[in-house]
């Protein structure tokens, strides 16, 4: 088999588990944070830097890469791995989230979605089959079914119709996908309606995807609502398959997700924050532009082994780089945030294997609250 997933240890006092996902481009040790390379690059980082951080898989974006440079060009280049010179696994999303978040003028039909490019306004069309074709061209290891991301303010009737359509689209994605070297994941939806989440989890799980994803969360709803939706959904998803919580990556949500049994996470927050001088630490987020760091000659986090911290780049120096508008500042904080998040999941995995994850998560979350 090209793909397999094994759970190597289950936490006895929570839903947390440690696993290994085997893919054609290598093993993925879960739970894991996956850096996002929207445009076939993790912003401000070279591939070897991302490898040195310990990343085992990265994400790229179907919607954006189809607009530019085009999936056919990437196929001609030998696929996304060759095009961007990344040797390890790649996951591509279906483009569904971007279709619904970046285009105001869109029209949803049973066949698919008509929308306009956010770049030049040109008319575009995505269907389940089109999304699969694009991802086949990209050649990513894990591909996602095309779905509709339901806004949190959507009423139950709209959410029900949308979720029904997502289920039908998932079936069409399965029927159209033919490449055994790409693992197709289904996506559960349902908005913030617990009954719909339960229904969607059962439907998607019954379809027999290689992995199951939970979409449509962390899109504006309060975090306690997201956690409640996870608690309703996760027990209904096959425990022998990987579970992927889409678009979620803040440290507290990583801990809460792992506690409930999530294996895979991704988020653009780490690189976006890095470009604005915001750094992740065990004590919470800090803004290195603040005046109080002008004469702070300590590193971002003394316990961090990222390039910036282990080589002694101080808060004062990084602050100076941002004030002077030097690009190195964004690179250093981005490198720190990515390595911090990857290492946090490595620490979580170690705690799971030692069967002490509830204690680890509790202490970590208490530290973030202070």
Average pLDDT of the segment spanning 270-281: 98
**Residue 305: its pLDDT value, please?**
97
pLDDT average, residue stretch 168-175:
98
The Cα–Cα gap between 132 and 134 comes to 5
C-alpha to C-alpha distance for 37 and 52, rounded to whole angstroms = 16
pLDDT tens for 86-145 read: 999 999 999 888 877 766 678 899 999 998 888 999 999 999 999 999 999 999 999 999
> Region 334-345: what's the mean pLDDT?
98
Catalytic-labelled residue, pool 52, 93, 205, 282: 93
Q: What are phi and psi of 301, to 5 degrees?
A: -150, 115
pLDDT tens figures, 180-220: 999 999 999 999 999 999 999 999 999 999 999 999 999 99
The string of DSSP codes covering 44-62 is T--HHHHHHTT---EEEEH
Q: Which residues are within 8 A (CB) of 18 and not within 5 positions of it... i.e. 6 or more apart?
A: 7, 8, 9, 29, 30, 31, 349, 352, 353
Check residue 103 and give its pLDDT. Answer: 64
**Residues 142-155: pLDDT tens digits?**
999 999 999 889 99
- CATH 3.20.20.105 domain position(s) in the chain: 4-267
Look at the alpha carbons of 290, 293, 299, 302 in this order and tell me if their dihedral is positive or negative: negative
Q: What pLDDT is attached to residue 100?
A: 73
At the fourth CATH level, the homologous superfamily of domain 4-267 is Queuine tRNA-ribosyltransferase-like (3.20.20.105)
Phi, psi values for residue 83, rounded to 5°: -60, -45
Q: What pLDDT sits at residue 370?
A: 46
- 212-256 pLDDT per residue, tens: 999 999 999 999 999 999 999 999 999 999 999 999 999 999 999
| Marked catalytic residue, from 141, 266, 301, 366 | 266
Backbone region of residue 287 per phi and psi (left: phi > 0; alpha: psi in -120 to 50; beta: other values): beta
Q: What is the pLDDT of residue 343?
A: 98
Mean pLDDT of the chain: 96
Residue 182 burial class via C-beta count within 10 angstroms: exposed 0-12, middle 13-18, buried 19 and up: buried
Q: Kindly tell me if the per-residue pLDDT of 4 is higher than 60.
A: yes
Any catalytic annotation for residue 266? yes
Cα separation, 248 vs 362, whole angstroms: 19
Which pLDDT does position 105 carry in this prediction? Answer: 74
40 secondary structure, DSSP code: S
Class of residue 25 by CB neighbours under 10 A (exposed 0-12, middle 13-18, buried 19+): middle
Question: Is 93 a known active-site residue?
Answer: yes
């Amino acid at each position: 088999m090209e793909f397999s997933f094994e759970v190597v240890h289950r936490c006895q006092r929570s839903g947390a588990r440690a696993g290994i996902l085997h893919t054609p481009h290598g093993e993925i040790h879960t739970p894991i944070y996956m850096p996002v390379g929207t445009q076939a690059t993790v912003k401000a980082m070279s591939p070897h830097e991302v490898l040195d951080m310990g990343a085992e898989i990265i994400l790229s974006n179907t919607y954006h890469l189809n607009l530019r440079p085009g999936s056919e060009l990437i196929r001609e280049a030998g696929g996304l791995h060759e095009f961007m010179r990344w040797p390890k696994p790649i996951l591509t999303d279906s483009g569904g989230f971007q279709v619904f978040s970046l285009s105001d003028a869109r029209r949803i039909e049973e066949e698919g979605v008509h929308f306009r490019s956010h770049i030049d306004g040109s008319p575009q069309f995505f269907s389940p089959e089109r999304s699969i074709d694009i991802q086949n061209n990209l050649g990513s290891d894990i591909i996602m079914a095309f779905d509709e991301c339901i806004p949190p303010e959507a009423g139950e009737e709209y959410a029900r119709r949308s979720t029904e359509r997502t289920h039908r689209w998932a079936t069409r994605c399965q029927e159209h996908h033919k490449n055994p070297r790409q693992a197709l994941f289904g996506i559960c939806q349902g908005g913030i309606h617990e009954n719909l989440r339960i229904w969607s989890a059962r439907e998607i799980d019954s379809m027999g995807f290689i992995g199951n994803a939970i979409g449509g969360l962390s899109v504006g709803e309060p975090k306690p609502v997201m956690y409640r939706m996870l608690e309703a959904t996760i027990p209904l998803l096959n425990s022998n398959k990987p579970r992927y919580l889409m678009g979620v990556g803040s440290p507290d949500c990583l801990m809460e997700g792992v506690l409930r049994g999530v294996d895979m996470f991704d988020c653009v927050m780490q690189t976006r924050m890095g470009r604005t001088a915001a750094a992740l630490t065990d004590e919470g987020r800090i803004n290195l532009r603040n005046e109080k760091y002008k004469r702070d000659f300590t590193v971002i986090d003394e316990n961090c082994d990222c390039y910036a911290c282990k080589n002694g780049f101080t808060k004062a120096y990084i602050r100076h780089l941002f004030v002077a508008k030097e690009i190195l500042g964004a690179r250093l904080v981005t490198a720190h945030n990515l390595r911090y998040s990857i290492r946090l999941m490595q620490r979580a995995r170690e705690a799971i294997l030692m069967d002490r994850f509830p204690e680890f998560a509790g202490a970590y979350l208490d530290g973030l609250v202070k």
